[in-house]
Structures are given as C-alpha cells and as structure tokens.
C-alpha cells in the first residue's frame, strides 16, 4: 500500500512540535502517513498518523544519519518503498535528509514551505526569501522533502486513536560517528526572553563601530538590545542576545527591528511579538511582511533622529 | 593533513530588488553584486586554522563560471595552497547533480584528502544538502551544523553541532569525513586587496565540468520562479524622517513600553 514515511525528530525526550508539519504535508498530499520514531518514553502525536513504527534505538542513535539509513533500509524491506520520506527542516532533519538522499540516490527538496496539489509542485525559498522556486521531483522516488516549521501543521487531522506500533529491531549502529554529550549554552545575566521591549539590530548595522550608538538608543528608549544571526556571528553582540531558531524565541510587547532583512530563521524567533516595527532601507525586505509598522529608510539616520528627539527636553 | 574546502560565488541578494523575467523562466541577477558565500568563508577559515596548527595543506575548490576564480583567489589569500575551478556555465539547482559531479571530479583527479569541508548551505539556494549527499555517495561519515571543532586528530575529530535554541551536541567522527561548517564558528581573517593581488600569482587549475558528467542527471526540476505570496504587511510610516520617527515613538507610548 502506498504511504509517506515521516521521520520524527525527538530531542532530549521531546517530540518536537515541528514534526506536526511533516505529518501535515502528508495529509495535504492525501497520503497515508507512517510515523517513524525512536524508542523512549515521550508523548508523540500518534493519533494524527495512519501508522507507527518504533525503531528500537535511543534518540541519539536514531538522529545519527549514518544509522538512520540502516533504519530506513529495514523499514523499506518490511513495508516496501514509500512515496515520499519527510523530515523536519532543522539542524538534524536536514542532516538526516541529505545523507539519506545521497545514500539511496533519491530526489531531495529541502525547506519546503508550500505545496500546489493541482500541479504537484513544492515551493522552496531562494535568494534571502525574496523568490520562491516551484520544484518538482523528476527522478525515481521516493522523494525526500524537509518541511519548514509552521508551514503544514494546520493540515494534520486527529484520527481519534493511535495506531498500534510496529517495531524495527537489530539496527546496525554506526561507529564512524558517535554522540558524546549535549552542551548547554552558558548562563548569562541578560535574558532577552523576559524583555518587554527589544531593540534588535541586524546585518544592516554595517560594522561593529556602530553598535555603541544603537546601545545608547536602546538605553534612551529603556529597551533591551538583541540581534539577528549575522550580528552574533560577527561577535558584535554576545550569543545570549541572539533572536532566532538557533538563539532565543522572544515575544515582547514591542520588537523594534533595525537593519534586519528577515531570514526565516529570524522570523521564527520573533513573529509572535505583540507589535513588530521594522526599519530597513530595502522595501522588499521580507521583514515588512511580518511587521505591523515599518519605516523604509537608512537605519543610521533613523537612529540619529530618534536620539535627537529623545535628547531634546 | 590534507583538507579540501568548497567555496562558492553567490549573488548578494540581501538588499537587492530581484526581478523575475521570461514569465518565471529566470531571475535577473545581472545588476546584483556577487560575493563569497558566507558559510564558505567560515569554512575556509576553519580549514586553514587546522593546517596552520597541525601541518598539511588546504585545497580550495569552486564550481561555477570563470568569475568564480575570485573566491579561489580569496581562499588562497586566506591560506589555501591550491585553487581548483570546476568550470561550468550551467547552474545546477539539484544538489544531487552537484554532489555527483564533485564526486566524479575528486575520483578522476585523485585529489587526496583527510577531510572535506563545506559550508552548511549556500545563500542563494539554501538547499543545505550537497555535503550530506556527497558524504553518503562517497561512503564517508558526515557531520553538519558544526559550530566548534574541539580536536582534530589524524584519525578522528571531536566537533560540536549547533542544534536549536542554543543547544549543542558533541560528536566524535572518524576521518576521512565530510564536515559542513556553520557561520559563527570562528572569526574569519580580513582579506586585503593586496592579499588577493598576491594570491593571483598562485596558479589556479581550471577543470571543465563537462569532463565529469557520468550519472550527473537532475532528479528535480524548477518549473517556475515566482514572488512569495504577499501578506497584508506593515503599515508604512512614510513622509519626512522626523515625522515618521515621532510616529514611531507614539506607537511605543501607546504600547506602554516607553513613556
């Protein structure tokens, strides 16, 4: 029977919420979804899928791409080829998906954020999210896709009860790559997730020497300063101040974004803020799609003008 | 230690207006400036640091048109010993096709390596797949999202992978392997114009992509390019700068975050 295989991401005993998007795309495509999960004691979303396969390995072994291909081989031997194999679009999902695509010689489309059922087209973003490509697999399947978090979960349907689980046992575990331990971020005195008002700066700041002026503006506004990935990568602000999927997810009353174009990984970390105000000189910057208010201007000029106004008694 | 590092010349689209032409057939990049892919810049730096510490050589490889020589000169200026260009006028959108071509090249030219470094993704297509596909095809272990290399020995490396929400995972990987580098892993050295000029004196080898086409077939196709669907979007505070700034402060007061 035809089916779509959903490879779940379970991390530190948590069934990641973005797995719902993997299940959702199967429902949207009208395919029976079979959820592949690691062993362990956690709450999944079994009532949303048509079938369940438990691989008798721990999550860290499950999430190792060199071992995952062995698990997939066993699943395919037992159930036949799926129509599609779905992974999350994340640090581990993408790693697993690309390795599996190479191993099994399968078509792959990553970071899928939409699907057109009539044309059989997957949408994927290109060029800083300014262009979408309409992609279609042409090679022999199953096709591998990774799906962008938040894109398809609304399509997942509760089936009322969980299917009974099959198991995959005696998985060959790779010794060429092995998990050692998790490393937690160092604790710091600032917690940007607690701030009511964030002034967040991005690549548009241009260079490190401009940062103190933004810190001064944040001080005048009584805002806490944070930044997007490029600013953190360049060490202009410490890692604890990073907003985005690899940093912090924030929901302040006001998120004032200056010089941030709005890469998806950043948007995912701030889109639920009560009020988003974006300042950017590029009117096409994706952030204006998510912001409530916008100013299209040179951010340094806006910064200096705000400082002038605030300093004038 | 011989390290191969891939580097790509990409359009810097962050602040550019992009136009789709030919009813969705192409994206006009003719007025867009090009630069080295951010991820590859960090990846070159990391590879160079390893050989500076433990000896060996870095070979930078780029696939693209003749202009891609620019990112090879840059890599050499940063410390790579050689620069190889796999020249092609075609843009291969399919990461499977790219990885297969690279595999054919490495095999046919017999390029020696202890590890292959790639950026996690390239800024233009955001596929984040070539490293993983290449590793699997070559039967090599693979680690991606590498944000720290704790040790790099002759037979193995201990690396940290960046996961979500500030969490990292430490893994041991046996060599030879493919490592995909995440931005922020290091502080790439500054490359001066003088440095690049000096690097131009180092000969770069040019190979033709046409010679490595065995099994290079795209498994996906781009039917069309489209603009992302527009949402309601932001209310733009337009007019004089002073006026929009005062309006902005008014919003902050209304939201109760500024008095």
Q: Please judge whether A108 and B166 are an interchain contact, meaning their C-beta atoms are less than 8 angstroms apart.
A: no
Mean pLDDT on B152-174: 97
Contact A294 B133 (CB under 8 A): no
Let me know: does A99 contact A66? Beta carbons within 8 Å.
Answer: yes
- What's the pLDDT score for residue A128? 85
Of A135, A221, A286, the CB nearest to B252: A221
Contact yes or no for A101 and B257 at CB 8 A: no
Element (H, E) at B130: helix B130-138
**A12 CB neighbour count, 10 Å cutoff:** 11
Nearest to A293 by CA among B244, B239, B259: B244
Is A4-168's fold the same as A192-311's?
yes
- Which B residues in the span 129-148 are in contact with A, Cβ-Cβ below 8 Å? 129-137, 141-145
A4-168: CATH number? 3.40.50.620
Question: Is B151 an 8 Å CB contact of chain A?
Answer: no
- For A122-141, the pLDDT digits (tens) are 999 999 889 999 999 999 99
Spatial neighbors of B204 by CB under 8 A, at least 6 apart, are B69, B72, B73, B76, B82, B83, B84, B85
Quick: pLDDT tens for A221-232: 999 999 999 999
pLDDT in the model for residue A1: 65
User: What whole-number distance in Å separates Cα of residue A71 and Cα of residue A56?
Assistant: 10
Q: Which chain B residues have a beta carbon less than 8 Å from that of A203?
A: 14
B2-212 is classed in which CATH architecture? Answer: 3-Layer(aba) Sandwich (3.40)
Q: What is the pLDDT of residues A254-276, one digit of tens each?
A: 999 999 999 999 999 999 999 99
Whether the predicted pLDDT of B15 surpasses 90: no
Q: What is the mean pLDDT of chain B?
A: 96
Q: How many CB atoms lie within 10 A of CB B88?
A: 20
Cβ-Cβ contacts under 8 Å, A118 against chain B: none
Please state the rounded mean pLDDT for residues A50-62: 97
Q: Do B145 and A95 touch (CB under 8 A)?
A: yes
Q: What is the CATH number of domain A192-311?
A: 3.40.50.1220
Burial of B126 (0-12, 13-18, 19+ CB in 10 A): buried
In the stretch 44-83 of chain B, residues with CB closer than 8 A to chain A read: none
Q: Where are the domains of chain A?
A: 4-168, 192-311
Task: Please give the pLDDT value at position A313.
Answer: 77
The answer to whether the Cα torsion of A175, A176, A177, A179 is positive or negative is: positive
Asked if the model's pLDDT at residue B230 lies above 90, the reply is no
Nearest CA in chain B to A193: B165
CA distances from A45 to A7, A20, A72 (A): 13, 8, 20
Q: Do B245 and A130 touch (CB under 8 A)?
A: no
């Amino acid at each position: 029977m035809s089916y779509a295989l959903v490879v779940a991401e379970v991390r530190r005993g948590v069934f990641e919420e973005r797995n719902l998007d993997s299940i959702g795309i199967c429902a949207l495509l009208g395919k029976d979804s079979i959820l592949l999960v690691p062993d362990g004691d956690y709450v999944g979303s079994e009532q949303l899928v048509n079938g369940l396969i438990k691989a008798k390995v721990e999550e860290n072994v499950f999430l190792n791409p060199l071992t995952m291909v062995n698990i997939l081989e066993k699943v395919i031997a037992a159930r036949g080829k799926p129509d599609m194999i779905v992974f999350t679009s994340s640090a581990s999902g993408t790693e697993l998906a690309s390795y599996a695509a190479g191993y099994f010689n399968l078509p792959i489309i990553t970071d899928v954020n939409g699907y057109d059922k009539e044309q059989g087209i997957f949408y994927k973003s290109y060029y800083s999210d300014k262009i979408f490509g309409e992609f279609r697999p042409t090679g022999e399947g199953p096709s591998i896709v990774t799906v962008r978090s938040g894109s398809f979960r609304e399509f997942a349907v509760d089936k009322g009860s969980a299917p009974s689980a099959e198991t995959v046992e005696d998985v060959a575990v790779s010794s060429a790559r092995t998990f050692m331990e998790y490393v937690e971020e160092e604790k710091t005195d600032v917690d940007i997730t607690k701030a009511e008002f964030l002034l967040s700066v991005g690549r548009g700041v241009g260079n490190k020497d401009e940062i103190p002026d933004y810190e001064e503006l944040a001080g005048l506004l009584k805002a806490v300063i944070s930044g997007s990935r490029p600013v953190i990568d360049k060490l202009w602000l410490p890692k604890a101040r990073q907003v985005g999927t690899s940093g912090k997810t924030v929901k302040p009353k006001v998120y004032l974004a200056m010089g941030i174009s709005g890469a998806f990984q950043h948007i995912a970390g701030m889109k639920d803020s009560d009020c988003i105000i974006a300042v950017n000189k590029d009117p096409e910057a994706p952030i204006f799609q998510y912001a409530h208010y916008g100013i299209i201007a040179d951010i340094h000029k806006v910064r200096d003008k705000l400082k002038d106004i605030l300093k004038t008694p | 230690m011989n390290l191969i590092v891939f580097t790509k010349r990409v359009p810097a689209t962050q602040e550019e207006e992009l136009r789709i032409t030919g009813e969705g057939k192409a994206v006009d990049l003719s007025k867009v400036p090009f630069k080295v892919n951010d991820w590859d810049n960090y990846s070159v730096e990391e590879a160079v640091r390893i050989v500076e510490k433990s000896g060996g050589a870095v070979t930078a490889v780029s696939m693209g048109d003749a202009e891609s020589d620019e990112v090879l000169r840059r890599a050499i200026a940063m410390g790579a010993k050689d620069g190889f260009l796999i020249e092609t006028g075609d843009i291969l959108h399919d990461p499977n096709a790219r990885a297969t071509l690279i595999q054919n090249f490495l095999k046919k030219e017999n390029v020696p390596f202890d590890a292959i470094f790639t950026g996690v993704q390239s800024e233009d297509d955001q596929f984040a797949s070539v490293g993983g596909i290449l590793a699997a095809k070559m039967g090599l272990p693979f680690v991606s999202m590498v944000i720290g290399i704790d040790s790099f020995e002759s037979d193995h490396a201990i690396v940290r992978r960046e996961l979500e929400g500030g969490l990292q995972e430490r893994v041991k990987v046996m060599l030879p392997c493919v490592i995909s580098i995440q931005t922020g892993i290091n502080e790439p050295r500054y490359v001066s114009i003088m440095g690049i000029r000096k690097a131009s004196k180092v000969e770069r080898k040019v190979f033709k992509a046409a010679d490595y086409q065995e099994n290079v077939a795209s498994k996906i196709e781009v039917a069309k390019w489209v603009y992302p669907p527009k949402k309601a979007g932001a209310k733009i505070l337009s007019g004089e700068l002073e006026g929009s700034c005062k309006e902005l402060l008014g919003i902050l007061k209304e939201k109760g975050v500024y008095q």
